[in-house]
Structure 1
């Protein structure tokens, strides 16, 4: 199915999208796991990126397998293929983490809205920032269970780091398979930049 488009292999096209979306999703989930302000601001963005990664990963793998049938077999291509097959579990866990963090962010936004609404209409403008922070924290704890916040953050952290590591390994092995022999066999031009 995913073989060629306009006579060219479709794998590089899909892989370029994958190499942008998957790391972007990993970074967004990592930030959402570690930075509450980002988590509340980003809303559904980390989840959308993680779900796009779940869709793009099998498409990249399938198109890579189609390309593999048209090139000469090598150990480098085999290594790249095996590493690529290991990415899907990571992006699935990334999507689960993003979903959990989305639930946490919604609860946090809802609770901060409740705490802000509590102060509307009152004349107690002199309330200190510390008292406001304590009130917001107590409402947030009630709206988002601590175990959910900690669990989502831990899963998000592990999934982000694992996904990013796997993408780097896959990309490196793919670059070696595609360009390793071509670059190592080329000789640099002589007499150029050595000052002679």
Structure 2
């Protein structure tokens, strides 16, 4: 896949940041040259170029995101917002190029109206780009923050004390915690309380909800086998060994 890996690393994190930076610079440039006519000669084609390359980068981000999703899964919210960015960037590029060429040959209400439309679409693009970047950053860092928080907080009140007396947890006990509101699961012989993680899971809550009350070792291995970060996150929710 051309949008999958480069030197063994995923393409998506690189191109998505590239797209975000270029599109924001291009949109700010468009707003500036529409509002300040004397800047058009110096910044006009540079602005169009930024939007053009940013649009190409948005396409690459979309395709590489799909490739990454097939390989390791991609946060649903981030994927949905990312899919919208490419068509919006194409629309903005078309409006910006049309307005810039038109205003060089003529002036009037129609040209002004197209420029105003360009500003509105540019503002919308900035907002969308910000949401795409934020949702991606949240997907990457939320799990690490959650792990750090889990490591520094005391055990949940509804978790049994397995530190002494040889106490163990049975599958019957795990099955009793089989709802999204009280979700325990077994992975590789250990029991985990995943209740708090359901709403934070980058792939959507339904993935974790399907693990509640059961031995989910195979499901976890199929999705994350050999990946260090998911295993670190999981460790933060450990209750104790399965008896």
Q: Normalising to structure 1: TM-score of the pair?
A: 0.70
User: Paired residue for 2:88, among 84, 87, 90?
Assistant: 90
- Cα distance in structure 2, aligned partners of 1:149 and 1:99: 12
- Cα distance in structure 2, aligned partners of 1:161 and 1:104: 21
Structure 1 segments of 4 or more deviating over 3 A?
Answer: 187-190
- Cα distance in structure 1, aligned partners of 2:73 and 2:100: 45
Tell me if 1:171 matches 2:136: no
User: Judging changes above 3 Å, is the alpha-carbon distance between structure 1 residues 188 and 33 closer, same or farther for their aligned structure 2 residues?
Assistant: farther
Q: Is the Cα–Cα contact under 8 Å of residues 102 and 111 in structure 2 kept in the other structure? A: yes
1:188 to partner: Cα distance: 11
- Cα distance in structure 2, aligned partners of 1:57 and 1:93: 12
- Cα distance in structure 1, aligned partners of 2:53 and 2:27: 12
1:14 to partner: Cα distance: 1.1
Instruction: Note the aligned Cα RMSD (angstroms).
Output: 2.1
1:85 to partner: Cα distance: 0.8
Tell me if 1:80 matches 2:78: yes
- Cα distance in structure 2, aligned partners of 1:98 and 1:106: 12
- Cα distance in structure 1, aligned partners of 2:9 and 2:17: 14
- Cα distance in structure 2, aligned partners of 1:58 and 1:146: 34
Partner residue, 1:64: 65
Paired residue secondary structure (2:136): helix
User: Judging changes above 3 Å, is the alpha-carbon distance between structure 1 residues 40 and 185 closer, same or farther for their aligned structure 2 residues?
Assistant: same
Give unpaired runs (5+ residues) of structure 2: 153-243
Give unpaired runs (5+ residues) of structure 1: 108-143, 191-196
The structure that is helix-richer by fraction is: 1
Q: Normalising to structure 2: TM-score of the pair?
A: 0.57
Paired residue secondary structure (1:145): coil
Equivalent residue pairs, number: 151
1:105 to partner: Cα distance: 5.0
1:1-196 to 2 correspondence within 5 Å? Answer: 1=1, 2-72=3-73, 77-104=75-102, 106-107=104-105, 144-187=106-149
Higher relative contact order (CA 8 A, sep 6+): 1
